Amino acid sequence: MSRILVTGSADGLGLAAATTLLAQGHDVVVHARNEERAADLGGLIGRARIVVGDFTDRDAVRRVAAELNGADPLDAVIHNAGVWSGRPVMPVNVIAPYLLTALLEGPRRLVYLSSGSHFSGRPVLDGVDWPGASAGSYADSKLYVTTLAAAVARLRPGVLSNAVDPGWVPTKMGGPGAPDDLELGHRTQEWLAVSDDPQALTTGGYWYHQELTQPHHAVHDEAFQDRLLRTLAEETGTAL
């Protein structure tokens, strides 16, 4: 049995992953943005530990990390929380997973939600609005978080760190007309978080439906990885 944090688990892929992992007998920590969203967790209430924090607020991310570090250690984190547009794009999609990666003690498996949109991202860091004073680029945010996953794999050899493209699935974010398979959209995250399958013990991969694929060329550019980590460390005051 593993202890797994699934961020952004009040609905969509996060809820599906948390529900499946609980059904498999794992100890799951679910996350909601606020108390109202936590109340929407329904059948997970009483079965999973719940942490609450608005990931647009860096202090809230830090509080969540401190709360989790004061409890039983985590074995894995699925960095699922994400937004499609608006001011929260960089804070939620990049800053929050970066801070949790830097601050959480113990997880040996890290899964970051990427997107096929990351191929349209620009490997440019100058002028990025990290605090979210204005709308950010979703494609850029997914390129950055995919690069973060690869950088962690390189710099933490004892940690399995991977990025997953769940596909364009029919969630609230994806919309009802999304063409991809919702079930396949969360299966890879769960597999990477808990499986002892030799292929699931890969690190530094970019996955789509349990198949390794090639990400944007910048993802494995070590110079770009290092620039990204320096920029995020300076922006947050927290080194990885």
**Residue (of 66, 132, 143) closest to 99 by Cα position:** 66
Catalytic, 144? Answer no
Q: How far is CA 183 from CA 14, 17, 166, 170, 190, in A?
A: 12, 9, 10, 10, 11
The span from the CA of 155 to the CA of 140, in Å, is: 22
Active-site entry in 138, 144, 206, 208: 138
DSSP conformation class of 74: P
Return contacts of 9-13, CB within 8 angstroms, 24+ apart. 9/41, 9/44, 9/80, 10/37, 10/38, 10/40, 10/41, 11/40, 11/171, 11/172, 12/171, 12/172, 12/173, 13/80, 13/113, 13/166, 13/169, 13/171, 13/182, 13/185, 13/186, 13/189
Catalytic, 142? Answer yes
Burial class (CB in 10 A: 0-12, 13-18, 19+), 211: exposed
Active-site entry in 98, 112, 142, 206: 142
* Residue 167 in tokens: 């596909």
Rounded to the nearest angstrom, the gap between the alpha carbon of residue 12 and the centroid of all alpha carbons in its chain is 14
Q: Which residues are catalytic?
A: 138, 142
